Amino acid sequence: MKLKIVKYPEPVLSQPGEPVTEFDAELATLAEDMFETMYAAQGIGLAAPQVAVSKRLTVIDLSMGKDPEQKLVLVNPEVILREGRQYEEEGCLSFPEIREKVVRAANVRVRAQDLKGNWFEMDGEELLARAFQHEIDHLDGMLFVFRMSALKRDMVLRKIRKMQREGTW
């Protein structure tokens, strides 16, 4: 089932998600619904707070649905290692049409649980490292605009306010 993606400044986006404690069918269904929602919106990552569920769960698929092996579900994830630096453009499904460069670590290692509650570790570089950091930020209530330079952030927030006034946001 496709879910509704909430946009900034919906308060749920700024709240830290609750740790997941029940690894049940409901959680698996939520993850599947999040994949469906993300593919429909042509995104590569989606965090539960973006569908108004304040839980530490995110899905990522760099292949955008083309390669089932790239489907990643991260439950209660954390970044446990960061290396290097990259400065690339990012977007966010909660900020339609906004794309700006954000500083991120070049390589990261994440530790997370799967849908059954088993812990695993995974390394990511380049785009996958960015997706890990962007999505895990969402679970901490941190949005990518607040990772931009102050100048760019102000520009983006002004643009959003203008669109809100015009009824196009």
CB of residue 117 to Zn ion, shortest distance in Å: 25
| Contact set with Zn ion (CB under 5 A) | 92
Whole-number minimum distance, CB 100 to Zn ion, in Å?
A: 12
CB nearer to Zn ion: give 11 or 24: 11
In the bound state, the residue with its beta carbon closest to Zn ion is 92
Looking at the Cβ atoms of 96 and 117, the one nearer to Zn ion is 96
Residue 53 or 117: the one with the smaller Cβ distance to Zn ion is: 53
Query: 125 φ, ψ to 5°?
Result: -130, 165
What whole-number distance in Å separates Cα of residue 149 and Cα of residue 154?
Answer: 9
Q: Which secondary-structure segment (H or E) carries 46?
A: strand 45-47
In the complex, what is the shortest distance from the CB of residue 138 to Zn ion, in angstroms, rounded to a whole number? 6
CB closer to Zn ion, 119 vs 146: 146
Asked if 45 and 21 touch (Cβ cutoff 8 Å), the reply is no
* Least spacing, CB of residue 24 vs Zn ion, in Å: 26
Catalytic status, residue 126: no
Q: Which residues are catalytic?
A: 135
